[in-house]
């Protein structure tokens, strides 16, 4: 679902704060693209990613999980350290999810990830792409 607060105009945040709307589409896959994300793991990751985003003052605009990979659209500030966010999301979630009761699949990520900047004008299309992953890959779809 689109975070409608992210779609508004780039109003200055205060007298000395410039306006900005900086969005990125992030994606990465499980180790060897093995199906390691089931419904309970997806639900755990959803909650975990949102907690990290709040902690890091990043807005998750869209989030999608499949059995073998993850898609996110995030809004950041101009000087935000994006590799740090990816490290927190990937490293922390792998460690924590693998230790969840009942997790028989484990969770390990590939080392690589993809990041693409998203212009504000194309944000709705990026969100639709992320939210449409279950239809695009029905054989890997999970419910979160």
Helices (H), the chain: 39-56, 82-98, 123-131, 133-136
pLDDT of residue 27: 98
Question: Dihedrals φ, ψ of 52, to 5°?
Answer: -65, -40
pTM score of the predicted model = 0.82
Question: Dihedrals φ, ψ of 8, to 5°?
Answer: -70, 175
- Strands of 114-118's sheet in order across: 59-65, 69-76, 22-29, 114-118
Cα–Cα distance for residue pair 132/63, rounded to 1 Å: 10
pLDDT of residue 104: 67
Q: Which domains does the chain have, with CATH numbers?
A: 20-140 (3.30.70.1290)
Average pLDDT, the chain: 87
pLDDT of residue 58: 96
């Amino acid at each position: 679902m689109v975070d409608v607060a992210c779609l508004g105009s780039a109003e200055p945040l205060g007298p000395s704060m410039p306006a900005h709307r900086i969005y990125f589409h992030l994606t990465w896959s499980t180790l060897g693209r093995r199906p390691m994300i089931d419904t309970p793991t997806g639900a755990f990751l959803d909650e975990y990613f949102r907690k990290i985003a709040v902690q890091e003052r990043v807005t998750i605009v869209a989030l999608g999980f499949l059995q073998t990979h993850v898609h996110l659209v995030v809004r950041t500030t101009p000087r935000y350290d994006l590799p740090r966010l990816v490290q927190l999301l990937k490293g922390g979630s792998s460690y924590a999810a693998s230790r969840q009761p009942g997790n028989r699949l484990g969770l390990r990520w590939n080392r690589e990830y993809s990041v693409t900047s998203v212009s504000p004008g194309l944000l709705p299309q990026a969100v639709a792409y992320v939210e449409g992953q279950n239809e695009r890959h029905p054989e890997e779809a999970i419910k979160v």
